[in-house]
Structure 1
């Protein structure tokens, strides 16, 4: 496991160290030696360049991505948990059939629905707006499925007792279900935030205005230039990795606990 961990961590380490190298030095040392692990000439010019470039406001890209990711995560936790609670504990006509139809969308590749989704956004005149980045991403079928597995383990007798005491379903959801589902909600929130932070294809298609673009598309734009500045690419990638690594390290015990308790393995 230690060897596997080293193999996984080394590319990340090399990315961070190479972000402090000059452009000429990044690919100069390919043989095993200390030059491969540490820069010969340390520099912070790569980081300064990506933040000082007025034509590509990297700080604005990060703010846009953080804004979209936080809104989608918060709204997604509310909507997806309500849907999962309804499917797991409420009784209504055709529930099983609706659940099967709903979950069947998991097997449909995103590229298949992207064009109809694009046309729908265009008809709603949401092109090149934050609404186009946020609204289509709120409902996540996998997230609903994961929460259904967790909510199914909550004893029905507790909910029936609350109903007999006069509690409405909304109060049961807020007072009983949500407090017991904290690990699962944190897990879903972390996965949702990660997906939105790494989102590339949909923002690339739907956003044309430079100031509204997100970070992954911005990093890709550094690579599309005729003269690729690998130092800037590695510096931007390093900065974009910091929030995800920080959030995961902070919430990793809840993530593992939520995956285990929800019954979703792997």
Structure 2
């Protein structure tokens, strides 16, 4: 009993110390005047929260196991036995498992197909279910052949590395310009409070309801009239004004405590100084979220680049390369028969989405927090 009390005190002390460290780190972030330092500290706090609690639980594994056992015994004594909850629990897990399989299976199939030889993916041959779901031998030969295949598919001899760099450069440039315009637009909506603000917001929501494909023809005609087809400008300029990002930013500014602005005015700060020194650092989480979402959206964009770019363009992106690959078939040099190199296509697809998977896995909590918290303070005063 004494050892259990000691373990409980030790665990409670570690948890309280963990919570106090979080509070101190959050306080440092709020008081930081440098937005870059605040950004670095937020990333540090994110990883601290993610791993520290797991480490504490790991160190107190046996104590927590005893606590769970005591809780189970208490529930059993109170009449709340496990078999009363097994039906809804089983149903929930079944639904989640089915959804998980449906979601993850395309990625799984893409990954294992990228490691198969052409003989294993040849559509003219029949294979067992196990052969479809698992390669006979894992080999990186497909990834080596993929680069040669891309060079043969590309009519203007653009290498895979160039496709990749184009996508990265365009995504970064498009995201930064969109973010700057959205931050300024969002602050303007927040700062310029008039009677027509509700009407303006209603118009913004109406634009959000219009699918992007419906505006494709208008954008294309405008690009042709400006003689911007096949240029970098056509991939950047049409997406500077993103309604969703502007709304996200204005929402984050509205969520700030009004006392901050009043205090800034008392201290003699202008609206621009308040925006630069107080409001902008306060919504840094939302800015990071908007940056990640816009970057992923720009990286994955395929319909507009395919529409506006020609075969001789030097600004072709990864989605254009994949789109061309998916339409390609030809002759296998040795057998001289028609073939569809699905393994090479899946290898290229996996490499293309790998950066976005890494970004999402690392920053998924930033995305969720930025969309839900809407700024550093939920009190408007």
TM-score, normalised with respect to structure 2: 0.64
Aligned to 1:107: 209
Larger Rg: 2
Aligned to 2:326: 223
Aligned residue among 311, 335, 344 for 1:232: 344
CA distance in 2, matches of 1:30, 1:179: 58
Provide, for residues 117-154 of structure 1, a one-character-per-residue CA deviation record: whole Å limited to 9, x for no partner: 11111122211011100111122101111222222110
CA distance in 2, matches of 1:8, 1:44: 25
Gaps of 5+ in 2: 1-92, 331-339, 376-381
CA distance in 2, matches of 1:221, 1:46: 18
The answer to whether the 8 Å contact 1:30/1:36 transfers is: yes
Aligned to 2:253: 151
Aligned residue-pair number: 261
The answer to whether the 8 Å contact 2:231/2:309 transfers is: yes
Aligned to 2:335: none
Matching of residues 202-221 of structure 1 within 5 Å:
202-208=304-310, 209-221=312-324
Following superposition, the deviation at residue 92 of structure 1 comes to 5.0
The answer to whether the 8 Å contact 1:102/1:141 transfers is: yes
The answer to whether the 8 Å contact 1:222/1:229 transfers is: no
Provide, for residues 177-208 of structure 1, a one-character-per-residue CA deviation record: whole Å limited to 9, x for no partner: 12121221121111111111110110001111
Aligned to 2:117: 22
Q: Secondary structure at the match of 2:118?
A: coil
Following superposition, the deviation at residue 210 of structure 1 comes to 4.5
Moved more, 139-148 or 54-63: 54-63
Q: Secondary structure at the match of 2:329?
A: coil
Moved more, 231-240 or 104-113: 104-113
Following superposition, the deviation at residue 160 of structure 1 comes to 2.2
CA distance in 1, matches of 2:246, 2:114: 39
CA distance in 1, matches of 2:314, 2:138: 31
CA distance in 2, matches of 1:215, 1:54: 13
Moved more, 221-230 or 60-69: 221-230
Query: CA distance change for structure 1 residues 30 and 93 in 2, over 3 Å: closer, same or farther?
Result: farther
Following superposition, the deviation at residue 220 of structure 1 comes to 1.3
The answer to whether the 8 Å contact 1:105/1:141 transfers is: yes
Gaps of 5+ in 1: none
Query: CA distance change for structure 1 residues 107 and 223 in 2, over 3 Å: closer, same or farther?
Result: same
Bigger relative CO (Cα 8 Å, ≥ 6 apart): 1
Cα-Cα RMSD: 2.1
Aligned to 1:249: 361
Q: Secondary structure at the match of 1:24?
A: helix
Aligned to 2:146: 50
The answer to whether the 8 Å contact 2:329/2:341 transfers is: no
TM-score, normalised with respect to structure 1: 0.89
Aligned to 2:167: 65
